[in-house]
Amino acid sequence: MTDRETTLEYFDIIVVGGGMVGSALACATAEAGFNVCVLEMREPQQNWPKDEVDLRVSALTRASQCVLENLGVWEQMQALRISPYTDMEVWDAGGSGRIHFSAAELGEVNLGHIVENRVTQLTLWQRLESLQGVTLRCPARVTQLLLDDKPGVILDDGTHLQARLIVAADGRDSQIREMAGIGTKGWDYDQHAIVATITPQQHHGYTARQRFMKTGPLAFLPIDDGRCSIVWSTSPQEAEALMAMDDKAFSHALTLASDHMLGEIDAVGPRGVFPLRLGHAEIYIRPGLALIGDAAHAIHPLAGQGVNLGFLDAATLAETVIDAKSIGRPIGAFATLRRYERTRKGANMGMLAAMDAFKRTFSNEIPPLQMIRNLGLTLADRSGPLKHLMVRRAMGLSGELPDLARHRPVGN
Ligand SMILES: Cc1cc2nc3c(=O)[nH]c(=O)nc-3n(C[C@H](O)[C@H](O)[C@H](O)COP(=O)(O)OP(=O)(O)OC[C@H]3O[C@@H](n4cnc5c(N)ncnc54)[C@H](O)[C@@H]3O)c2cc1C
């Protein structure tokens, strides 16, 4: 008997990375009767002061809301805090182009929700703790990935785990992707994003706002208590200078950069900074392995799509393996996983390319381009049906969606 045959534990699915996307996949597959092991290196934050807003927030689309409702965590997320927004305004600092989206125009109650990442992650984690057939290993670290006829991982404590399918959900710098020898295509955006929670003089009116400057976009995302979470993408040099400022100087710089969109910035909380990079895995699958979420694609936060794409990956992969099981096909087989890759890779590629083009167009000061983009925004704003189509797509109300993302919620 070899060491490999003395494996201690065997699962249907091992998910490496219990962040928002990995946890969602684990919930969906465990609920369908799979025996799932989640390996996570950091415990999710369990509690925090009620009035503190996490630096990391995401604008969740309706499709993501559906996924989270179907996984049974949305109510718990509401109890912790979710902030609906009803309107969105985008404009160009270099001209008069402006576009406004409104839920009322679409006959919807809102356009989506701003949610702290830790709220989503904690509620999914708690759901996993309550589900049969789930093993949570935290802290856990993978030292070796085995992708042969018996896919498995070796942990730093020497434990050997085997599964029919291993899922890499370990984020943008995925170690599993690297161990599998899967390369990425992409580049640095040469931008850093500063995030903070701020208190503006005027109420945000439940409107998400984004101003495009040549150095990058500045977004104000409304929190339900009147504060805003900001994502200020700018050059690494300016980001460094902004991070070095005291709160008063930073508030003043933010007031100016925001063009006084909500008056003066009265207060600013702790700041964080994230380097931005575009990255797309060359392939999403190998026999016995699938990549999901940021492990498969890292995207500029300007359209708030990263985790939303990740939830669609998780929902599509869950659907793929559930269907395979129902007809007796091996869940880790290349032919099974191809359906997942075919569905998601093209969709993610389209979004990555669109956001990249958007970022480049708005960083450009060549006068004809500036004029065209201003005209484009203004025309799009007046385009009626086209505008509705665009926003419905961005909200995850149309397009090709997996079942888990389809259920229409009752109420908000
Ligand atoms: C400034 C900023 C703003 C953003 N705003 C939005 C937004 O508004 N809307 C949106 O949709 N997206 C947004 N995003 C993107 C979004 O945050 C990511 O797409 C999302 O966090 C990806 O989730 P994930 O679960 O795939 O990966 P991650 O969130 O990176 O989670 C990976 C998990 O794996 C764990 N892990 C890593 N390595 C290992 C290992 N070797 N072993 C075990 N565990 C491991 C980590 O601890 C973590 O829990 C934003 C990103 C940034 C930087």
CB of 141 sitting under 6 A from ligand 1: yes
Nearest residue (by CA) to ligand 1, atom 28, is 171
pTM value surpassing 0.95: no
Distance 165 CA to ligand 1 centre (A): 21
Distance 256 CA to ligand 1 centre (A): 30
Distance 17 CA to ligand 1 centre (A): 10
The answer to whether residue 110 is domain-embedded is no
**Backbone φ, ψ for residue 368 (5° rounding):** -60, -35
pLDDT at 283: 98
The answer to whether residue 337 is domain-embedded is yes
pLDDT at 2: 47
Distance 328 CA to ligand 1 centre (A): 33
The answer to whether residue 285 is domain-embedded is yes
pLDDT at 360: 65
CB of 171 sitting under 6 A from ligand 1: yes
Q: Which domain holds residue 154?
A: 3-83+115-186+278-358
Nearest residue (by CA) to ligand 1, atom 27, is 171
Contact criterion met (CB below 8 Å) for 44 and 54: no
The answer to whether residue 32 is domain-embedded is yes
The answer to whether residue 220 is domain-embedded is no
The answer to whether residue 372 is domain-embedded is no
CB of 58 sitting under 6 A from ligand 1: yes
Residue of 37, 41, 277 best suited for mutating to test ligand 1, as the one with most atoms within 8 Å of CB: 41
CB of 86 sitting under 6 A from ligand 1: no
Rounded Cα gap, residues 267 and 247, in angstroms: 8
Rg (CA), the chain: 22
pLDDT tens string, the chain, 412 residues long: the values are 444 445 578 999 999 999 999 999 999 999 999 999 999 999 999 999 989 999 999 999 999 999 999 999 999 999 999 999 999 998 887 766 788 889 998 889 999 999 999 999 999 999 999 999 999 999 999 999 999 889 999 999 999 999 999 999 999 999 999 999 999 998 777 899 999 999 999 999 999 999 988 888 999 999 999 999 999 999 999 999 999 999 999 999 999 999 999 999 999 999 999 999 889 999 999 999 999 999 999 988 877 789 999 999 999 999 999 999 999 999 999 999 999 999 999 988 887 777 666 666 666 555 555 555 566 666 666 666 766 777 777 777 777 889 999 865 454 4
Tokens 């943008």 appear where? 172
Structure tokens, 393: 């797509």
CB of 94 sitting under 6 A from ligand 1: no
| Total structural domains within the chain | 1
Distance 171 CA to ligand 1 centre (A): 5
Rounded Cα gap, residues 71 and 61, in angstroms: 15
pLDDT at 302: 78
The answer to whether residue 240 is domain-embedded is no
Domain with residue 315: its CATH number is 3.50.50.60
**Backbone φ, ψ for residue 257 (5° rounding):** -65, -30
Contact criterion met (CB below 8 Å) for 351 and 309: yes
The answer to whether residue 198 is domain-embedded is no
